Every structure is written in C-alpha cells, then in structure tokens.
Amino acid sequence: MALLLTQQTPADPLLAPTPPAIDAKGYILLDFHSLRAIAKSNADQRMEPASLTKMLSAYVVAHELDAGHIHGDDEVLISEKAWRMPGSRMFIRAGSKVTVDNLLRGVIIQSGNDAAVALAEHVSGTEQAFVVLMNEHAQRLGLISSHFMNSTGLPDPDHFTTPRDMATLAKAIIQDHPASYSLYATKEFQFNNIVQRNRNDLLWLDDDVDGLKTGHTDSAGYCLVASARKNNMRLIAVVLGTRSEDARAQETIKLLDYGFRFFETRRLYEANEPITEVTIWKGAKKNLSLGLREDLYVTIPRGQFDNLETRLDTETRIMAPAVNGQQLGTMTVKLGEQAFAERNLVALEAVQSGTLLDGLIDEVKLMFHKTP
C-alpha cells in the first residue's frame, strides 16, 4: 500500500551550481548527518593517507580509553623504536615516561610518529599487534577500501585508503569519541619545552572549522580532512594529493564554502516516532504504528525543502504477531525525480496475536476486504 505524505510543485531541474574545480588527486564533501556526498571526485580510488592514518590510531586509543582498558594518566615507558621514528615528532625520549593523555595530544596536535608508536605499543604490546586492531576497527566502521600497515602513515605499498573512507572515519571520530575530537581543534601543544603548532591551517582561517588532521609524504602529496559546523549543519571535507600546504587548505575552503552556501540539511523524521499507522489483522490490537529506527536527515539544495516528496510503501495485509523493529514497509524521499533517501519502515511496538474469536472475526472481514 502506497501513501504520499507530501507533494509539491516539481523542483527546478537546476537545483544548485556545479561544484568548484578542486585541484586534488581525490576529494569528497560529505554531510555529517545525512551522509550525502555533495561533491566528489575519485572518492573511492585507493590513495596514500600519510599522517591521516593517525586519525585511526587516535580512534583506537580513544576506544580503549572509553572501554577502561587504558587510562589517560597511565605512564608509558618510551621504547627506543618509538624514540627513533623518522618524520614528524613529539620529541619524546627513550626510557622516559609520558602519560597517555600527553601522547594522544602529541599524535593529534603535533602529528608525532614517535607518539603514535608509543601509544600503539602501550595498547597492544607491539605496533604490529596494534595495526591488527586498527584494521579490525576499520572494517567495523565500514572503511571497506582501506588497509593499514603501520600506526603513523609512513609509506608502504599495502597501506592505502580512499577519500570516502577518510570521511567515514572522521564521522566516527566526531560521533563516537567527542572528548578526543575536541583535541583536533587545539592550535598548539607544548611538550619537553618545545611548542608545536597544529598543521591544520584552517583552524586559523575559518572559525567554523574544529578539526581534523593533515598529512604529507612525497608520494601522497598534501592531504587534509576537515570538519566545520555552521547553522546546525556539519560538513566533512577530504582532499588527498594536493600540491602544497597552502593548496590543501584553499581547496578544502572551496569545498566547505560550496556546501554551506548552496545546500542545507534538515531532519525530516525522528527515530522511534510514529510516521504512519496501519491495520494489523488477527492481533490483540487493531492498529500498529510504523516509523524509523534512526533519525532521517536529508541534504538538499537551499530553497528546495518545500518541494520534497515522501512516499510510504507498506505491506498490504499485516498479520499478528508483529515484532518490535520488524520491517513492514519502505520510505522514499524524492526531490523531483531524484531520490534523496530510502529507509525501512519498522514496527514501533510488538503486537501479540488476538484471541481465537478475534482471529475468526478478522478472517471473515478479510474475505470482503479489498486490497488497495
């Protein structure tokens, strides 16, 4: 059975201007709530993540902290391997002890390879064992086109990701571990009498930006994952393989400006709130509420909200018993001919079978019931 909740004049085919030209090997602009890709190029192509890898390393550490397996005030004995790590460093000394909290700041703010290895060894004993944990989390989070060989992002032929996977990881960091995410907005960190500036220039250039991470190697180019919030809309921009520090910042600003200027994100329906009511036959009650298990957000061109059309398709004859959460239909949200969201409609409550008499009465009614 189909039900049209809203229907307006069809939207103008020209919904928004084309995205700006972005000088990067690959990029994506993703809305945090709706997960809609507003702009993209080579979003699913394998590329080197460089120090963006440390976003996953920090995610794993945050997960271990939340689980109580490690603690922020744990003192980590710094190994010679961690001390000798090349590239960007926190400048920890072999044989010294540094707290997990400070090492996490060293990873996120200073992008220290030494800090990343020290944390990996503290969590899992060895960096190699930690990398196994990284890849397990990557698969759990849906980073289906990524594989990691180390905790730092140093080049390796089997160490790769995609712009889309990096955006997915950024969403998980913001959503799952808000305490550690707040560190990504910190502009500088001093350790061992050395003050180091956060390499994310957007923290100085755009007040709406509150994270995340930069990366660079000769082979990967200059990379940046950034998130910004404006007018209750949060966007995640990923650019991989740009030509310089300035280029990665400017190309990211172009993406964020495009998204905020020409698009908006709205919550259409709340989780577990009734959207429609259907008849349930042979049950202890006659009606059953259907809704969604998660909030439904849509990202659409600005000014087009009133042109959205929502179509509900429910099963024609629903028989008791019904289980809470049971799929009994689908919802499609369209703008013109374009589908913006598709979700399952589920039962918001359980309905037990009625009495024998209830069943017999409904059996008779069904004989004369016409299917719409």
* Number of domains the chain is built from: 2
- For residue 27, the surrounding DSSP H or E stretch is strand 26-31
Over range 120-137, report the average pLDDT.
Answer: 98
Residues 6+ apart with CB under 8 A from 175: none
Q: Which residues are catalytic?
A: 51, 54, 111
The CATH number of residue 176's host domain is 3.40.710.10
Over range 160-164, report the average pLDDT.
Answer: 98
Burial class (CB within 10 angstroms; exposed 0-12, middle 13-18, buried 19+) of 5: middle
Q: Is the pLDDT of residue 11 over 50?
A: no
Name the β-bridge partners of 37: 30
Is residue 322 included in any domain, yes or no?
yes
pLDDT of residue 282: 72
CA atoms within 13 A on the CB side of 224: 32
Is residue 344 included in any domain, yes or no?
yes
Same domain, 86 and 172: yes
- Single pTM value for the model: 0.90
Q: Is the pLDDT of residue 89 over 80?
A: yes
Is residue 18 included in any domain, yes or no?
no
Same domain, 114 and 219: yes
Same domain, 52 and 90: yes
Q: Is the pLDDT of residue 2 over 60?
A: no
Same domain, 196 and 59: yes
Q: Is the pLDDT of residue 10 over 70?
A: no
Is residue 16 included in any domain, yes or no?
no
Same domain, 135 and 279: no
Q: Is the pLDDT of residue 254 over 90?
A: yes
Is residue 256 included in any domain, yes or no?
no
Same domain, 238 and 272: no
Q: Is the pLDDT of residue 312 over 60?
A: yes
Same domain, 224 and 187: yes
Same domain, 226 and 317: no
Task: List alpha helices for the chain, DSSP H.
Answer: 53-67, 80-83, 100-108, 113-124, 127-141, 163-176, 178-181, 202-205, 245-262, 356-368
Is residue 350 included in any domain, yes or no?
yes
Is residue 47 included in any domain, yes or no?
yes
Same domain, 282 and 227: no
The CATH number of residue 352's host domain is 2.60.410.10
Residue ranges making up the domain that contains 171: 26-242
pLDDT of residue 7: 43
Q: Is the pLDDT of residue 22 over 70?
A: yes
Q: Is the pLDDT of residue 360 over 90?
A: no
Alpha-carbon separation of residue 87 from 4, 83, 159, 213, 248 (angstroms): 58, 11, 17, 16, 20
pLDDT tens, 180-224? Answer: 999 999 999 999 899 999 999 999 999 999 999 999 999 999 999
Same domain, 276 and 232: no
pLDDT of residue 77: 97
User: Please, what is the average pLDDT of the chain?
Assistant: 91
Residue 117, by phi and psi: left (phi above 0), alpha (psi -120 to 50) or beta? alpha
Same domain, 62 and 164: yes
Report the C-alpha gap between 183 and 249 in whole angstroms.
Answer: 19
Same domain, 209 and 283: no
pLDDT of residue 337: 86
pLDDT of residue 359: 52
Is residue 200 included in any domain, yes or no?
yes
pLDDT of residue 69: 97
pLDDT tens, 29-71? Answer: 999 999 999 999 999 999 999 999 999 999 999 999 999 999 9
